[in-house]
Amino acid sequence: MASGIFALLDDIAALMDDVVVMTKVSTKKTAGILGDDLAVNAEKATGFVASRELPVLWAITKGSFLNKLIILPVAFLLSSFLPWAITVILILGGIYLAFEGVEKIMEYLLPHGHDDNHEKIKNKEAGEILDVEKAKIKSAIFTDFILSVEIVIIALGTVLDKPISFQVLVVSIVAIIATVGVYGIVALIVRMDDLGLALIKKSDNKKGILFGLGSMLVKALPVVIKSLSVIGTIALILVAGGIFSHNIEYFHHLLESWPSFIKDFILGLALGFVAFLVITGFKRILHKKTN
Find the distance separating the first CA and the last CA of the chain, reported in whole Å: 79
CA distance linking residue 98 with residue 92, whole number of Å: 10
Task: Please tell me whether the overall predicted TM-score, pTM, comes out greater than 0.85 for this model.
Answer: no
Q: Cite the DSSP H helix spans in the chain.
A: 2-29, 31-44, 50-81, 83-109, 117-122, 126-157, 164-190, 192-202, 208-247, 249-252, 260-290
Q: Chain-wide mean pLDDT for the chain? A: 78
Rounded alpha-carbon distances, angstroms, from residue 284 to 68, 96, 281, 289: 35, 18, 5, 9
Residue-level pLDDT at 10? 47
pLDDT band of residue 272 (cuts 50, 70, 90) is very high
Q: What's the pLDDT at 278?
A: 93
